[in-house]
């Protein structure tokens, strides 16, 4: 929801913006144009959200200003966050209960200079998306109806919360009840992409179900099939489009296994070969830097199944879709660094509060 207010003083007009740390552009970089002047409400209940306020006047000091909630039982302002630049205002809030709260930006005198709306909901459903499909920009192929994994494998999925057909934003609320032979790991990325992830570790083969919860409320039951090595009947190497790419841009090739029914099998690592040279690491991704006219044959193999594809590459390395960047619960990273980088960018922007 866009929020803005212009304040005139001494012949000048100051414009203020309020936004949060939810970045919806899938690129693992800071993307302010997509979250400028925007609170990504509705939030999923239980999520922590950092709310920022800034001025179009770089010399204006907002450090003594405040953001308050009209209903702390819906959206509670917890603490002020130390920003990268002193003039930036950043507060940490939490989506506490279902409902709608008004967020008010107040200046050093306590006068209201702008308002935003924070809606909080409990999801009715969860969508699991294959990380590899998202990396390749194939979002329409990403949803996974049934989790099909290789015995002993590890696979990671993006978790999307939905209610009444729309998506709820925020993370840090996922938990799972897992049966014997399956381990679930909730992971949260917070630097560049504020996301919720589920990493599954499969044990012995068999069929089972997984219960997913958001803020301790059951929201989904997912069928899981753990299959043996013999279930793999094909391997295909999928790539991003190289059309209109710039030299030095990082792209990816994804190795995907399929069973006899054409269903994807996740949690599979592969042996990689580039122009005849064996790569030292195993994984399901080959990340490479695009180089116009410099062709390389990339091959992925699992057992007797293999596929290869020609790419334009100046060099690369084997990676995994289980790597999700700076994360908590399953990876490393720095929350303070993420807040500082976003705050610094916001201070340099021009925005408006309505």
Q: Is 129 found in the same domain as 117?
A: no
Q: Is the pLDDT of residue 148 over 90?
A: yes
Is 71 inside a domain boundary? yes
Query: How far is it, in rounded angstroms, from Cα 329 to Cα 171?
Result: 12
Q: Is 242 found in the same domain as 225?
A: no
Q: Is 204 found in the same domain as 162?
A: yes
Predicted confidence at residue 237, as pLDDT, reads 98
Is 353 inside a domain boundary? no
- Total number of domains constituting the chain: 3
Q: Is 68 found in the same domain as 29?
A: yes
| CATH code where residue 217 lies | 2.60.40.10
Is 326 inside a domain boundary? no
40, 93, 168, 174, 232 from 161: Cα distances, Å: 13, 19, 5, 10, 31
Is 96 inside a domain boundary? yes
In this prediction, residue 342 has a pLDDT band, given cuts at 50, 70 and 90, of very low
Enclosing domain of residue 56: 5-122+333-348
Q: Is 90 found in the same domain as 150?
A: no
What does the pLDDT look like over 325-339, one tens digit per residue?
Answer: 765 554 333 333 344
Examine the fold and report which residue of 229, 252, 285 is the final residue of a domain before the chain moves on: 229
Instruction: Tell me what the mean pLDDT of segment 66-85 comes to.
Output: 84
Q: What is the mean pLDDT of the chain?
A: 84
Predicted confidence at residue 3, as pLDDT, reads 40
Of 75-89, 189-203, 276-290, 332-346, the poorest mean pLDDT is in 332-346
Q: Is 63 found in the same domain as 37?
A: yes
Examine the fold and report which residue of 179, 206, 229 is the final residue of a domain before the chain moves on: 229
In this prediction, residue 53 has a pLDDT band, given cuts at 50, 70 and 90, of confident
Is 248 inside a domain boundary? yes
Predicted confidence at residue 351, as pLDDT, reads 38
Query: How far is it, in rounded angstroms, from Cα 190 to Cα 46?
Result: 15
Predicted confidence at residue 210, as pLDDT, reads 95
Q: Is the pLDDT of residue 353 over 60?
A: no
Predicted confidence at residue 335, as pLDDT, reads 35
Q: Is the pLDDT of residue 73 over 70?
A: yes
Q: Are 324 and 131 in contact (CB under 8 A)?
A: yes
Beta bridge partners of 287: 252, 317
Q: Is 176 found in the same domain as 143?
A: yes
- Say which residues have a Cβ less than 8 Å from residue 152's Cβ, sequence separation at least 6: 202, 203, 267
Q: Is the pLDDT of residue 154 over 60?
A: yes
Q: Is 10 found in the same domain as 104?
A: yes
Predicted confidence at residue 9, as pLDDT, reads 42
More confident residue, 10 or 122: 122
Is 259 inside a domain boundary? yes
62, 77, 122, 341, 344 from 93: Cα distances, Å: 18, 4, 17, 18, 19
Predicted confidence at residue 195, as pLDDT, reads 86
In this prediction, residue 347 has a pLDDT band, given cuts at 50, 70 and 90, of very low
Of 13-22, 71-80, 239-248, the poorest mean pLDDT is in 13-22
Q: Is the pLDDT of residue 191 over 60?
A: no
| CATH code where residue 288 lies | 2.60.40
Q: Is 153 found in the same domain as 70?
A: no
Q: Is 82 found in the same domain as 68?
A: yes
Predicted confidence at residue 54, as pLDDT, reads 81
130, 134, 199, 242 from 140: Cα distances, Å: 10, 9, 21, 19
Q: Is the pLDDT of residue 109 over 70?
A: yes
Q: Is 155 found in the same domain as 118?
A: no
What does the pLDDT look like over 278-331, one tens digit per residue?
Answer: 998 899 999 999 999 999 999 999 999 999 999 999 999 999 999 987 655 543
Q: Is 218 found in the same domain as 109?
A: no
In this prediction, residue 33 has a pLDDT band, given cuts at 50, 70 and 90, of very low
Predicted confidence at residue 208, as pLDDT, reads 94
Instruction: Tell me what the mean pLDDT of segment 192-203 comes to.
Output: 86
Is 324 inside a domain boundary? no
Is 47 inside a domain boundary? yes
3-state class (DSSP) for residue 336: helix
Predicted confidence at residue 86, as pLDDT, reads 56
Report the percentage of the chain scoring pLDDT > 90: 66
Predicted confidence at residue 82, as pLDDT, reads 57
CA atoms within 13 A on the CB side of 161: 30
Examine the fold and report which residue of 168, 200, 229 is the final residue of a domain before the chain moves on: 229
Predicted confidence at residue 118, as pLDDT, reads 95
Q: Is the pLDDT of residue 262 over 80?
A: yes
Predicted confidence at residue 345, as pLDDT, reads 42
């Amino acid at each position: 929801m866009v929020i803005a207010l212009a304040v005139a003083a001494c012949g000048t007009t100051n414009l203020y913006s309020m936004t949060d740390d939810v970045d919806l552009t899938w690129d693992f970089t800071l993307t302010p144009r997509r979250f400028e002047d925007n609170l990504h409400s509705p939030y999923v209940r239980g999520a922590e959200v950092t709310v920022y306020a800034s001025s179009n006047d770089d010399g204006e000091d907002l450090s003594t200003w405040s953001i308050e909630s009209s209903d702390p039982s819906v959206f509670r302002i917890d603490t002020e966050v130390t920003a990268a630049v002193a003039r930036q205002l950043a507060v940490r809030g939490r989506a506490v209960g279902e409902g709608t709260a008004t967020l008010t930006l107040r200046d050093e005198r306590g006068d209201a200079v702008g308002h935003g709306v924070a809606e909080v909901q409990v999801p009715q459903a969860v969508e699991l998306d294959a990380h590899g499909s998202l990396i390749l920009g194939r979002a329409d192929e990403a949803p996974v109806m049934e989790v099909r994994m290789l015995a002993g494998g590890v696979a990671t999925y993006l978790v999307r919360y939905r209610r009444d057909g729309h998506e709820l934003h925020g993370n840090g609320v996922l938990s799972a009840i897992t049966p014997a032979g399956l381990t679930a790991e909730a992971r949260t990325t917070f630097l560049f992409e504020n996301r919720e992830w589920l990493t599954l570790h499969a044990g012995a083969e068999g069929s089972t179900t997984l219960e997913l919860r958001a803020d301790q409320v059951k929201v989904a039951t997912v069928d899981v099939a753990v299959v043996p090595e013999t279930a793999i009947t094909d391997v295909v190497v999928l790539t991003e489009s190289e059309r209109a790419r710039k030299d030095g841009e990082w792209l990816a090739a994804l190795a995907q296994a399929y069973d006899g029914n054409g269903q994807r099998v996740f949690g599979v690592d592969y042996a990689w070969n580039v122009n005849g040279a064996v790569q030292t690491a195993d994984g399901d991704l080959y990340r490479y830097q695009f180089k116009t006219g410099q062709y390389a044959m990339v091959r992925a193999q699992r057992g007797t199944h293999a596929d290869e594809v020609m790419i334009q590459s100046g060099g690369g390395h084997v990676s995994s879709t289980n790597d999700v960047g700076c994360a908590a619960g399953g990876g490393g990273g720095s929350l303070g660094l993420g807040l500082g980088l976003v705050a610094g960018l916001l201070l340099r922007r021009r925005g408006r509060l309505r």
